[in-house]
Chains A and B, each alone.
Chain A
Amino acid sequence: MEIKDIEKLATLARIRISDEEKVTFLTEIDAILKYVGEIQKATLGASHTEVGAVYNVLREDGLANTPGQYTKAILAEAPEVAENCIKVKKIL
C-alpha cells in the first residue's frame, strides 16, 4: 500500500485527511491488513450464502406513521431548514 492508496480510500469514504495523517494511517492500516490477511491461509469448505435463523425482511409497503408525526422533531435536528424542508446546496 502507498500514500496514493490511502488518498483513494479517503476519497471513496468522503473524508478529508491531512498529509501527516496519511502517513500514520498508511503504517497502521498496513499493519492491520497484514494481521487480518491471516484469513487467506484458511481453507474453506462451507458456503457463506446460507441464511441463518434471523435475517432482515422488509415490511409491507404502507404508512408506518401518521403523516407529519415526526416532522417537527426531525427538522429541529437539521443543520439548515427552509419552509418545512431540509435545505441543501444546489447540485446542478
Chain B
Amino acid sequence: MAIDLKNLTIKKAHEDLLAKKYTVLELANAYLENIKKKDSEIHAYLEVFDDISAQAKVAQEKIDSGTAHLLTGIPFAIKDNILIQGKTASASSKILEKYHATYDATVIKKLRDVGAIFIGRTNMDEFAMGGSTENSAFGVTKNPHDISRVSGGSSGGSAAALAMDGCLAALGTDTGGSVRQPASFCGVVGLKPTYGALSRHGLIAMGSSLDQAGTFAKTVADTEILFNTLAGQDKMDATTLKSDTYAPSPIKKSLTIGIPRHAMEKGIDSEVLSNFEKTIKQLKELGHTVVDITLPNIGYALSVYYVIMPAEVSSNLARFDGVKYGLHVDGKNSIEDYFATRAEGFGKEVRRRILLGTYVLSSGYYDAYYNKANALRKKIGNDFVEAFKNVDVIMTPTTPSPAFKIGEKTNDPLSMYLADIFTVTANLTGMPAISIPSGFTQEKGVSLPLGIQMTAPHGQEAILFALGKDFLGEK
C-alpha cells in the first residue's frame, strides 16, 4: 500500500504500525524511496545507512510482542555531529571525514532502546558553525520549498530531510539557533530545550555552555513525544537537570504572551512583521493576552554571543590535532603536524571563529571581551527572569527574513551572523524555545515558510507545547 507520508505524524504512524496497516520495514522503505527521488537535488543526507532492514527487524519484534514505545519503528534523520556507534560522524568537516563514532550519544542510546530507526546522517554547517549549511565541507543542502534557497543551518540537513518527507522526525543541535532557524526556513517545528534538559554526551562540542540537542517534527504533539523520550538526567553529562531542578508551573488555559517590540524596530522584513502581527491576532482570538515587554540588555545579545561562542569554539576545537583520530597531515615534526592538519582539515568559517575566539581569550583582551560578555550574559538572563514575572511566554519571529538565496551571504560573515538575532538569547539564558510554522510569504510566485519563536522560563517546555498546540489547532 502507498503510505501518505505528507500527512503522516509520529502519533499516526504509531497507531498504523500497531494496527498492522504496514510494517516498520515498509514505512522505512517508503521514506527511502522518497529520498532516492528527491535527495540528489536537495542533498539533505550525507549518508543513508545500509543496516535499515536489520534495525527494522528489531523494531518490528517490539511491535509484534506488544512492547512498542511511541517511537518504535519511527524513521529518524540524525545530524552528523551526534555520535552513532560504528557510523561515521564527520560534523561535515574534512578533519573528521573518515572518523567513526566509538560510542552512542545518550540521545541516540535512548532512541535505540525504544527501537527508533536511524535512516541516515544529515548535512550541516561544519562543526555547526553557520546558518545555511553553506559551510559544510560536503556541499549545501537546498530548501525543499525553493531549491535556489538555503535550508538554514546549522542543522539544515535535518530540517530539509523532514520537510521533503525523507524522515518522520530528526535530531539536530542548537548553539545559537541551529535547530529553530532551519525549522523556520523549512516550515517544520524545531525545539531547543532548556540547557541541561537533554544530555550533551556524544554531541560533538561547539560552545559547551550554549550547546543543546534539539528536535525536528511536523507537529507540536510529535515534538512533545520526542522531548519526553529524550529528556532526563544523565551521569555522562554533569550539566543535565535533575527532575526537581526547576519546579513545573501549572499551565493556565489563557496565557500572557510578552512581545519585546523595542527589539524588533529595525532589520526585519516587512512580510515577517506582518505575519507576526497576524499571529498575535490569532493568539488573541484564542483567548490569550498579548502585552509589550522590555528586555533592557537584549540589544547586546548578539555581540555577547559572538564573543562567548568563538571563545568556547577555540577551546573545544583544540582537540583536533591529527594525533588521536581524524585527519592527519604530515609535517616536519609533531608541532608542524598540528599546523598542517588543522589548516587542511578545518574550513574557512571554522578557522575564522577559532582565530576570533583566540583573540577574545588572549591576554590583554580577555577582560574587555570574554569577561565583559559573561557579565552581560548574566544581565540578559536576569532581564528574562524579570519579564517572566509578568508573562508566561515571550514571542518574536524566529528569523528576521524567510530563507535567503544560496550564496547571498557567503562573502559577508557578519550579515550571516545578524540572522541569529532572535535565536541566540535562548542559548545565552539557557531557556527553552520553540519555532512553530506561522504561515507563508510569497516571493516571485514561490511560497516560503515563516516561523514564530516562543520562549518560556527554564524547565517549562510544557507551556510551549500547550501554546503551540493551541496555535496550530492540534488536539
Question: B339 and A32: CB pair below 8 A?
Answer: no
Q: Looking at the complex, which one of A12, A29, A48, A77 makes contact with B356 (CB distance below 8 Å)?
A: A29
Question: A44 and B379: CB pair below 8 A?
Answer: yes
Question: A12 and B358: CB pair below 8 A?
Answer: yes
Question: B245 and A73: CB pair below 8 A?
Answer: no
| Chain B CB within 8 A of A46 CB | yes
Question: A77 and B354: CB pair below 8 A?
Answer: no
Question: B359 and A88: CB pair below 8 A?
Answer: no
User: What B residues does A73 contact at CB under 8 A?
Assistant: 100, 102
Docked Cα-Cα span, A53 to B209, in Å, equals 13
Question: B238 and A57: CB pair below 8 A?
Answer: yes
State the Cβ distance, B391 to closest chain A Cβ, in Å. Answer: 21
| Chain B CB within 8 A of A31 CB | yes
A28-45 vs B, CB cutoff 8 Å, 1 = contact: the mask equals 110111011111101011
A interface residues, how many (CB within 8 angstroms):
50
| Chain B CB within 8 A of A63 CB | no
Question: A39 and B323: CB pair below 8 A?
Answer: no
Residue in A70, A88, A89 whose Cβ sees the most chain B Cβ within 10 Å: A89
User: What B residues does A4 contact at CB under 8 A?
Assistant: none
| Chain A CB within 8 A of B22 CB | no
B337-350 vs A, CB cutoff 8 Å, 1 = contact: the mask equals 11110110010100
Nearest neighbor of A50 in chain B, beta-carbon distance: B378
Nearest neighbor of A18 in chain B, beta-carbon distance: B343
Which residues of A line the B interface, CB within 8 A? 6, 9-10, 12-17, 21, 25, 28-29, 31-33, 35-40, 42, 44-48, 50, 52-59, 70, 73-74, 76-80, 86, 88-91
Give 6 A-B contacts (CB < 8 Å), ordered by A residue.
Answer: A10-B355, A15-B355, A28-B414, A42-B379, A56-B238, A57-B238
Which residues of B line the A interface, CB within 8 A? 99-100, 102-103, 195-196, 235, 238-241, 245-246, 297, 299-300, 302-304, 306-307, 314, 318, 321-328, 333-335, 337-340, 342-343, 346, 348, 351-352, 354-356, 358-359, 362, 368-369, 371-379, 382, 413-414, 417, 430, 458
